[in-house]
C-alpha cells in the first residue's frame, strides 16, 4: 500500500524559504492518475490546503499562498516537493503530504513540524 | 467556499449516537469528505464523496447529504472514536479546497 513520508529542516529563519520533500513508497508517481498535495496545520488549529501537483507537473495552489508557493515533482526519485518563500512565524505548522484523489486525501504522511524562528 | 462545522464540541458517552454537521457556503455537490484526527496523528479519511466509507472504516460511521448540508453519524460510540473530526470540500468554481474548523468529540 502507498505510504508517504515528509522530510526537511525543522527550523527555518524568518524571510527564508521553507523546503520540504515527500517520498512516496508502495506506488509510483510516474503515470499515476492522482494529484499529490501539501496541507498544513498550525498547532491547535485547523487544516489548510497549500497546493497540488499532477504527475505531469501541472500545479494548482491555494490562492492565499500562491505568490509564495512552488510545488515540484521528481518522478525518478518518486518524490514531490514544497517550497514556501518569505516565511514568517505564521507559517509555523505541521506540514503534511498526501495523495490527492481529486475530492479527498488518502493516505497522508505522518507530518513534519516546521518552526519559523530566528 | 467556507465550511462551517457544528457543534464545535460534542460531549457524549460510549454507546451513544453522534451527529456532526458540516454546512457549505455554496453548493459543493457531493464533493465532501470527512476525516478523523487524534492527537499527534495525521488525519484519517473516513468518508468520501459525502456517503462512501473509506477502506477499513467501521460500518458505525456513515455520511449523508448533498449540496450545502452534510452529516457524519457515528451510530454507537466506541472509546477510540473520541477525536477531532474535519469536513473538507473540493469545488471547481471557484476552484478551491477547504476544510471546516473541526468538531471535537469528547467523552462525557
Give CA separation, B108 vs B12, B15, B26, in Å. 5, 11, 34
User: Does B96 lie at the interface with A, CB-CB under 8 angstroms?
Assistant: yes
Task: Give A45's pLDDT tier (boundaries 50, 70, 90).
Answer: very high
Average pLDDT rounded to a whole number, residues B12-29:
97
Q: Would you place residue B28 in the very low, low, confident or very high pLDDT band (cuts 50, 70, 90)?
A: very high
Reduce the secondary structure of chain A to three states and give it as a string.
Answer: CCEEEEECCCEECCCCCEEEEEEEECCCCCCCCCEEEEEEECCCCCCEEEEEEECCCCEEECCCCCCCEEEEEECCCCEEEEEECCCCHHHCEEEEEEEECCCCEEEECCCEEEEECC
Q: In chain A, what residues touch B43 (CB-CB under 8 Å)?
A: 47, 96, 105, 108
Find the mean pLDDT for residues A59-86. Answer: 96
What percentage of chain B reaches a pLDDT higher than 90? Answer: 94
Q: Which of B97, B98, B99, B102 to mutate to test the interface with A (most CBs of A within 10 A)?
A: B97
pLDDT score for B93? 75
Could you report the per-residue pLDDT of B53-106, keeping only the tens digit for each? 999 999 999 999 999 999 999 999 999 999 999 999 998 877 789 999 999 999
**Cα distance between residue A13 and residue B21, in whole Å:** 40
Can you read off the three cell numbers belonging to residue B76?
454507537
Q: Which chain B residues contact residue A111 at CB under 8 A?
A: 42
* Min Cα–Cα distance to chain B from A45, Å: 8
In this complex, is the C-beta atom of B100 within 8 Å of any C-beta atom belonging to chain A? yes
- CA B74, CA A17: separation in Å to the nearest integer? 42
Euclidean distance between CA atoms A63 and B93, whole angstroms = 13
Q: What's the pLDDT score for residue A88?
A: 98
Suggest the residue from A93, A105, A113 to mutate for an interface test with chain B (most B CBs closer than 10 A).
A105
- Mean pLDDT is lowest, of A88-92, A95-99, B95-99, for B95-99
Q: Which pLDDT value is given to residue A80?
A: 98
Report pLDDT for A89: 98
CA angle B19, B24, B30 (to 5 degrees): 80
Q: What is the mean pLDDT of chain A?
A: 96
Q: What integer pLDDT is reported at residue A9 of this predicted model?
A: 97
Predicted confidence at residue A39, as pLDDT, reads 98
Count CA atoms within 13 Å of residue A51 on its CB side: 24
SS3 content of chain B, % helix, strand, coil (to 5): 5, 55, 45
Q: Report the pLDDT value the prediction gives residue B92, as an integer from 0 to 100.
A: 82
- pLDDT for residue A112: 98
Centre a 10 Å sphere on the Cβ of residue B85 and count the other Cβ atoms it contains.
25
Q: Are A107 and A3 in contact (CB under 8 A)?
A: yes
Cβ–Cβ below 8 Å for A106 and B96: no
Instruction: Give the pLDDT confidence score for residue A12 in this predicted structure.
Output: 98
For residue A110, give the nearest of B33, B42, B54 by CB distance: B42
Amino acid at each position: 500500500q502507498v505510504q508517504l513520508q515528509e522530510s526537511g529542516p525543522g527550523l527555518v529563519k524568518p524571510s527564508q524559504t521553507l523546503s520540504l520533500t515527500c517520498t512516496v513508497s508502495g506506488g509510483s508517481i510516474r503515470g499515476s492518475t492522482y494529484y499529490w498535495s501539501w496541507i498544513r496545520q498550525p498547532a491547535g488549529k485547523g487544516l489548510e490546503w497549500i497546493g497540488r501537483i499532477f504527475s505531469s507537473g501541472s500545479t494548482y495552489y491555494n490562492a492565499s499562498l500562491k505568490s509564495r508557493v512552488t510545488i515540484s515533482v521528481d518522478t525518478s526519485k518518486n518524490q514531490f516537493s514544497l517550497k514556501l518563500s518569505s516565511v514568517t512565524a505564521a507559517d509555523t505548522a505541521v506540514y503534511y503530504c498526501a495523495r490527492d484523489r481529486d475530492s479527498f486525501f488518502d493516505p497522508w504522511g505522518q507530518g513534519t513540524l516546521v518552526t519559523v524562528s530566528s | 467556499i467556507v465550511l462551517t462545522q457544528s457543534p464545535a464540541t460534542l460531549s457524549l458517552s460510549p454507546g451513544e449516537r453522534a451527529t456532526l454537521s458540516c454546512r457549505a457556503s455554496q453548493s459543493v455537490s457531493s464533493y465532501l469528505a470527512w476525516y478523523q484526527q487524534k492527537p499527534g496523528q495525521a488525519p484519517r479519511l473516513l468518508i468520501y464523496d459525502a456517503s462512501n466509507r473509506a477502506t477499513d472504516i467501521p460500518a458505525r460511521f456513515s455520511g449523508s447529504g448533498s449540496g450545502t448540508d452534510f452529516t457524519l453519524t457515528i451510530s454507537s460510540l466506541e472509546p477510540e472514536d473520541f477525536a477531532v473530526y474535519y469536513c473538507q470540500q473540493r469545488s471547481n468554481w471557484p476552484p478551491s479546497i477547504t476544510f471546516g474548523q473541526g468538531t471535537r468529540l469528547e467523552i462525557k
